[in-house]
Structure 1
Amino acid sequence: MKRRTLIKGIATGLSSLYLSDLYAHSLLASQPIPRMAPGPFLPTWDSLRQYQVPDWFRDAKFGIWAHWGPQCQPERGDWYARGMYQEGSDQYKYHLEKYGHPSKFGFKDVINEWKAENWNPEELVTLYKKAGAKYFMAMANHHDNFDLFPSKYHNWNSTKLGPKKDIIGGWAKAAKEQDLPFGVTVHASHAWTWYEVAQRSDKSGPYAGVPYDGKLTKADGSNKWWNGYDPQQLYAQNHALSKDSLNDGSMGGYWDWGNGASIPDKAYCDSFLNRTIELINKYGPELVYFDDNVLPLLQVSDAGLKIAAHFYNTSVKKHGKLQAALFGKMLNEQQRKCMIWDIERGQSNQIEPLPWQTDTCIGGWHYDRRLFDNKGYKSAKTVVHTLADVVSKNGNLLLNVPVRGDGSIDSEERAVVEQVADWMKINSEAIYSTRPWKTFGEGPAIQSVVALSAQGFNEGKGKPFEAGDIRFTTKGKTLYAIVLGWPSDKVTLIKSLAPDNQAGNVSHVSMLGNDRLNFEQTSEGLKVQLPDQPPRKEAFVLKIEGAIV
């Protein structure tokens, strides 16, 4: 099938009625097609350039994310629904032992095992607000193509199968009770190529040549638990494989539908469009994150542009002004004016002119029991250091706390969250509603920064932070210096506040959570005498008055 040309524009002045009629197809023909919200935004890049990042998001700085779905049920790490079909992989071997061969027990059957029996969204979101989160986001679907809300356009969803619960509805209610802006993350545009591994069969062993379950059809469900459900609506594998599909590492090359990727048909694109519009209409999220290069299906469909315009217009209608935050990866300079640039597991190395976001995790994206067993989570210290670094560069941090298959978080994760809460209780003044200073920071770690790669992924690759590493934020005429380690001689030197740096005359220095401190402004910088112990071990904050901000 030839690649379709992306619709690049719609004439200015196109009526909202015509915009509503652009949807010409529905996967489930019996269901009404959701209408696109009229408003100032059209599904074109020129129109989306009207976007301005809302102040509430710029002030929030810190959000927590539940990247949770049926792939957490095996508790064996990220991308389980793909790895279980890759012969010889860790997840394949684990699947054989726990569930059986993927020709007999596929991912559809893992979904059936997932019950979320201990899920308490109210308790978790309350904990996350205590930790300092100013917004909360929940995964609405992953590359596994399973919707976590009652979609009229997709029978494979969590209200009909698996836990038989409205997961997004539960998270949304809990966020509203805590007065937190609520967001959803949408990943399902990639299922077409991501699930191609389910078309395979073993190359050796007793099941050699026996196909996995990726090509099953509705007719194969007779006398099965999934009778009446079409596995192809989940797997979307009624198509030829992408070029080089048998190479397990090829998926990254297909992310923007290049390098010989099989191109999805209209029904697939329309289904994704309808489901996402329905999700926005049903829950009214303030934030939407796409796990896509720029926008979903951008190179083969205008679905992503339509969703962006609809999301913005619904926000304008709801609030009287645009309050929406929409995220995409690998944005060029023009696209960053239309939405918010998201960096996965990494940070910018400079103060960005426009607000941006890092998304990262204290463990794997999907729950992995081995990280609990081996105490492999990020520490609260690492989380705090990441937050300080990101905020100093005009960014926000979205932190995933992996949720177990049963809907709970483990004791090690809870300890990290509670330690972050304790730090924020003392030091959040230097985080919320702040803006960057003239420089984001100083210290030895700056000399070993690692450039961003693809979507990000430079996290933890530079030199670890130490007592000489400082990150700056400002609020009004106050400068905050977030010091990322405790000096052995109890003296902090801030070189950026030397008089020859035109820093002004410092008049007052105190430590958040402590008293006023003695200081001296010398040609070397601002020397601050510290107390015997810091308020918290992760980092401490100096509040400085009189410096030029």
Structure 2
Amino acid sequence: MNKIFGTTKDLFTWIFLMVLFCYGAMAQAVYEDERYVPETDPLVLEKLEEWQDFKFGLLMHWGPYSQWGVVASWTLCPEEYSWCERTKGSAPHDYSEYKEEYQNLKKTFNPLKFNPEKWAKAAKDAGMKYVVFTTKHHDGFSMFDSKYTDYKITDAESPFSSHPKANITKAIFDSFRKEGLWAGAYFSKPDWNAPSYWDPYYPPRDRNVNYEPEAHPEKWQEYVDFTHNQILELLTDYGKVDILWLDGGWVAKTPKTQITSWYDGQLKNNDNGYIKHRIINQDIKMDELVVKAREKQPGLIVVDRAVHGKNQNYLTPENRVPEKPLPYPWESCIVAGDGWSYRFNSNYISGREAIHTLADIVAKGGNLLLNIGPTPQGEWDEGAYKLLDQIGNWMGINSEAIYGTRSIAPYKHDNICITSKKDGTVYLIYLVEEGQTNLPSSIDFMGFIPSKKAKASLLGFNSKIKLTPKEGGLNLKIPESITEKLLEKEAFVIKIK
């Protein structure tokens, strides 16, 4: 046992993490089955339809915490210590000192190699169609020039404040829009730096506000105003914003009879063994905010993550792919490296894994939002560029099987995903496994029966594919002359028209 786990403590840690994972998977599955509240605004519906055609976007978690290589914000939260242990700083076991050192990271955060134009080009070349950037995470540090806080990248205490691109959010949005991508603003509803959320008089107990809002209505209203003002800043001074991606689902109007799931913040009945959190009514007045937001940005897609209701225009399964298609707009946010924010010596998923994940998600009707955490210097690891380059090479040939498609039964058969277009064109995406050495000359795909006049072709090749309908599906004959070339691919696509 010691050879595998090192110590008994390591074994118990592993078991604890597996239990958390199982709880999380269970919570997420219930979350995905919940009733979706459709949008009624015609401008939003039009944008949602276009967004569903995009299929592939970029998420970036970035802030002063990247200097320590820790998961964004979470080491500040006392209740998360079991999975997010404090190891950085001069006194990680003294919470007060740790928090002070963490907040002082803004005084050393100086990403002089920040080059958003390079990021935008790499994202475009990979086939991404939109970016969602962390304008503010739970720690409250604003990566934009907010006039409502000094805890921001443009504050005089920040060495980067004199840089021409000090307003990082603006520089990113401008650069990505120039490459034709949509701009999305990630914004954390909880703010652990704001005294109107974590009142310095009280010690923080967990991720929630550390006082009772209903007992201190004036203080809570101060926080509501602060949050609305910052969001409206982003929607006023930063050009066209297409998506408002709100995190921190526990900040919501909360029925007293329910609890909050640890996994995604969604309200859950406590009948499945979920880990409990304090229940606090944190009514952030989202309905009012959305009205004001769409006055600034008509048609704005709003994603009030994990809060059931009309302000969650699409749902966001986190770091996983649903087992089945979901009957509403959705997007899986997946990490490309070892964590949401920058981690030293991070290992990135392979191009093959990313392409297979993209195909699986798209076949089930969703979008892939792939996360990359920039370095403290303002760069991406070479592993990130290599990954996007591999995806881009594949998309350059096969993107028509991805963009503008919708799910169609049976979604996936064995290692073949299926997508379709509105004109009736169908695509079979054959996922080539790592190390696969043989490819059958005859491939059966069950569950989809083409018309008698259907013709099959192979994207990127001139070779003919013989298609023969059979009971319950179809058969495809692959020319032996190209099987070796196909095995060199991460995946290949058969188009049926």
* TM-score in terms of structure 2 length: 0.74
- The reply on whether 1:493 has 2:444 as its aligned counterpart is yes
**Residues 485 and 539, structure 1, Cα contact 8 Å, conserved in 2:** yes
Equivalents in 2 of 1:170, 1:125: separation in Å?
Answer: 11
Equivalents in 2 of 1:370, 1:98: separation in Å?
Answer: 22
Equivalents in 2 of 1:88, 1:478: separation in Å?
Answer: 50
- The reply on whether 1:300 has 2:300 as its aligned counterpart is no
Name the residue aligned to 2:103. Answer: 108
**Residue 478 (structure 1) shift:** 0.6
Structure 1 pair 512–99 and aligned structure 2 pair: CA distance change class (3 A): farther
Structure 1 pair 80–297 and aligned structure 2 pair: CA distance change class (3 A): same
**Residues 119 and 407, structure 1, Cα contact 8 Å, conserved in 2:** yes
- Secondary structure at the residue paired with 2:461? coil
Map residues 102-501 of structure 1 onto 2, 5 A cutoff. 103=97, 106-160=101-155, 161-162=157-158, 163-164=160-161, 165-187=166-188, 189-192=189-192, 236-241=198-203, 245=205, 251=207, 254=208, 265-283=220-238, 284-293=240-249, 299-316=281-298, 322=299, 324-332=300-308, 335=310, 339-363=313-337, 364-371=339-346, 376-443=347-414, 468-485=415-432, 488-491=438-441, 492-497=443-448
**Residues 407 and 418, structure 2, Cα contact 8 Å, conserved in 1:** no
- The reply on whether 1:52 has 2:7 as its aligned counterpart is no
Equivalents in 2 of 1:415, 1:150: separation in Å?
Answer: 32
Equivalents in 1 of 2:226, 2:85: separation in Å?
Answer: 29
**Residues 251 and 284, structure 2, Cα contact 8 Å, conserved in 1:** no
**Residues 141 and 152, structure 2, Cα contact 8 Å, conserved in 1:** yes
Which deviates the most, 409-418 or 535-544? 535-544
- Secondary structure at the residue paired with 2:230? helix
Paired letter, 2:237 = K
Map residues 79-94 of structure 1 onto 2, 5 A cutoff. 79=73, 81-82=75-76, 92-94=86-88
Equivalents in 2 of 1:128, 1:175: separation in Å?
Answer: 9
Name the residue aligned to 2:277. Answer: none
- Secondary structure at the residue paired with 1:520? strand
**Residue 420 (structure 1) shift:** 0.8
Percent pairwise identity: 23
**Residues 251 and 282, structure 2, Cα contact 8 Å, conserved in 1:** no
Structure 1 pair 98–540 and aligned structure 2 pair: CA distance change class (3 A): farther
Structure 1 pair 97–256 and aligned structure 2 pair: CA distance change class (3 A): closer
Cα deviations by residue, 1:228-260 (Å, 9 ceiling, x for unpaired): xxxx65984424346xx3xxxx54xx49999x9
Structure 1 pair 423–295 and aligned structure 2 pair: CA distance change class (3 A): farther
Paired letter, 1:112 = K
Equivalents in 2 of 1:46, 1:526: separation in Å?
Answer: 38
Structure 1 pair 540–265 and aligned structure 2 pair: CA distance change class (3 A): same
**Residue 141 (structure 1) shift:** 0.4
Map residues 496-511 of structure 1 onto 2, 5 A cutoff. 496-497=447-448, 502-505=449-452, 507-511=454-458
**Residue 301 (structure 1) shift:** 2.6
Equivalents in 2 of 1:509, 1:167: separation in Å?
Answer: 48
Equivalents in 2 of 1:235, 1:330: separation in Å?
Answer: 20
- Secondary structure at the residue paired with 1:270? helix
Which deviates the most, 84-93 or 432-441? 84-93
* TM-score in terms of structure 1 length: 0.67
- Secondary structure at the residue paired with 2:465? coil
**Residue 369 (structure 1) shift:** 0.7
Equivalents in 2 of 1:539, 1:517: separation in Å?
Answer: 16
Structure 1 pair 180–261 and aligned structure 2 pair: CA distance change class (3 A): farther
**Residues 71 and 78, structure 1, Cα contact 8 Å, conserved in 2:** yes
Paired letter, 2:490 = E
**Residues 62 and 341, structure 2, Cα contact 8 Å, conserved in 1:** yes
**Residues 402 and 409, structure 1, Cα contact 8 Å, conserved in 2:** yes
- Secondary structure at the residue paired with 1:342? coil
Equivalents in 1 of 2:432, 2:52: separation in Å?
Answer: 27
**Residues 495 and 524, structure 1, Cα contact 8 Å, conserved in 2:** yes
**Residue 422 (structure 1) shift:** 0.8
Structure 1 pair 78–294 and aligned structure 2 pair: CA distance change class (3 A): closer
**Residue 305 (structure 1) shift:** 2.1
Structure 1 pair 340–53 and aligned structure 2 pair: CA distance change class (3 A): farther
Structure 1 pair 478–412 and aligned structure 2 pair: CA distance change class (3 A): same
**Residue 106 (structure 1) shift:** 1.6
**Residue 343 (structure 1) shift:** 1.8
Structure 1 pair 518–48 and aligned structure 2 pair: CA distance change class (3 A): closer
Which deviates the most, 524-533 or 116-125? 524-533
**Residues 145 and 154, structure 2, Cα contact 8 Å, conserved in 1:** yes
Aligned length: 413
Equivalents in 2 of 1:235, 1:275: separation in Å?
Answer: 14
**Residue 490 (structure 1) shift:** 2.8
Equivalents in 1 of 2:81, 2:454: separation in Å?
Answer: 66
Structure 1 pair 362–517 and aligned structure 2 pair: CA distance change class (3 A): same
- The reply on whether 1:520 has 2:495 as its aligned counterpart is no
**Residues 418 and 426, structure 2, Cα contact 8 Å, conserved in 1:** no
Cα deviations by residue, 1:276-319 (Å, 9 ceiling, x for unpaired): 11111111311110113287577423432222222223333xxx
Cα deviations by residue, 1:47-70 (Å, 9 ceiling, x for unpaired): 964352523212111111222111
**Residue 409 (structure 1) shift:** 0.7
Name the residue aligned to 2:64. Answer: 70
Paired letter, 1:306 = E
**Residues 343 and 357, structure 1, Cα contact 8 Å, conserved in 2:** yes
Structure 2 gap ranges (5+): 1-35, 255-280
**Residue 503 (structure 1) shift:** 4.0
- Secondary structure at the residue paired with 1:313? helix
